[in-house]
Amino acid sequence: MTARQTVRASIVAPPRPETSTLDYLTDVSAELAWQAHAACASADGEAFFPEKGGSVQYAQRVCAGCPVKAECLEYALDNAITFGVWGGKSEGQRRVLRRRARHEQEVAA
């Protein structure tokens, strides 16, 4: 391959990802496997995303007995999800948790 062909090939062909698409999707699927065990999977989904000022009590009751409540909350915090009830916590409650975690990191530094 000439130098010109090498340059052209690098322009036309995108770089290969470090992992295959199938490996990536498998990783994502495994990361979210906890969702299959979530108590909310069979509950009214709208209750977890109430209108502003709406009640989150039903959603929090469902979450109270959920076997993957901790994973759900961790997912919401790690992904900065700002809407809905996740892991039994409302938007405001998660905001407080994020603020507290930031403060603890600042104090530890």
Q: Residues marked as binding?
A: 40, 63, 66, 72
Q: Residues marked as binding for [4Fe-4S] cluster?
A: 40, 63, 66, 72
CB of 87 closer than 8 Å to CB of 67: no
Written as one letter, the residue type at 87 is G
What pTM value is reported for the model?
A: 0.71
What is the tens place of the pLDDT at every residue in 28-70? 677 788 899 999 999 988 999 999 889 999 999 999 999 999 9
User: Tokens for 66?
Assistant: 């959920």
User: Tokens for 81?
Assistant: 């999800």
First CA to last CA distance, the chain = 53
Mean pLDDT of 10-18: 54
Q: Give the CA distances from residue 55 to residues 16, 26, 83, in Å, rounded to whole numbers and listed in that order.
A: 48, 36, 13
